[in-house]
Amino acid sequence: MSTRIKTLNPETTTGKSKELFDAVQKKLGFVPNLLKVLGNSPATLETYLTLGSLTEKGNFKHKVREQLALTIAETNNCDYCLSAHSKIGSGHGLTAEEINKNRKGTSEDAKIEALLQFTKKVTENKGVVSDADLKAFKDAGYTDEDVLEVVLNVVANTLTNYVNHIADTEIDFPVVEAGKFN
């Protein structure tokens, strides 16, 4: 694989990264290329996996986290994550039309759209949102806890977006290119 950061082979990797790869293999049935890149730093790989675990414990169910990931990946122009989350999102019931809407920060569901619009603003503006942005989010039925979970999801997804930009990670999902809606 020709990435700018070495893509590890889970079968020959040793130590903490091997242990983490084995857990991913058991859970997913394969180790995505992103994780093979992250494995170069066991601390970064473990942080990413831990962030994923923590987001699963939050208020947003898996399908909604995929919708968030689509908005963040498009906003950050990350082809790898857009490809991965389009595939994973379709497995959680997102239609191609909804995936395209989510990439833009919109949705067929008004409450989800408010969530995605707020997430897009947090991502675009690096956390600097207006009082009106926050009020619109809360007026849609979201809480302070939800605000913080949006930040958690933005951080977790931006970590992978940035790693993929730097590494030029080889996409191992059906390819979806960012920038279609900008």
Sequential DSSP letters for 80-98? HHHHHHHHHHHHTT--HHH
Q: Which among 37, 28, 42, 30 is positioned nearest to 8, based on CA atoms?
A: 37
pTM of the complete model:
0.95
**C-alpha gyration radius of the chain:** 16
Determine the angle formed by the axes of helices 110-124 and 62-75, rounding to 10 degrees.
Answer: 40
Per-residue pLDDT band for 1 (boundaries 50, 70, 90) equals low
Q: What is the pLDDT of residues 44-61, one digit of tens each?
A: 999 999 999 999 999 999
Q: Which among 70, 55, 31, 29 is positioned nearest to 149, based on CA atoms?
A: 55
Per-residue pLDDT band for 2 (boundaries 50, 70, 90) equals low
Q: What is the pLDDT of residues 87-139, one digit of tens each?
A: 999 999 999 999 999 999 999 999 999 999 999 999 999 999 999 999 999 99
Q: What is the pLDDT of residues 145-176, one digit of tens each?
A: 999 999 999 999 999 999 999 999 999 999 99
> Are the CB atoms for 52 and 155 separated by under 8 Å?
no
- The dihedrals phi and psi of 173, each to the nearest 5 degrees, come to -135, 165
End-to-end CA distance of the chain: 30
Per-residue pLDDT band for 182 (boundaries 50, 70, 90) equals low
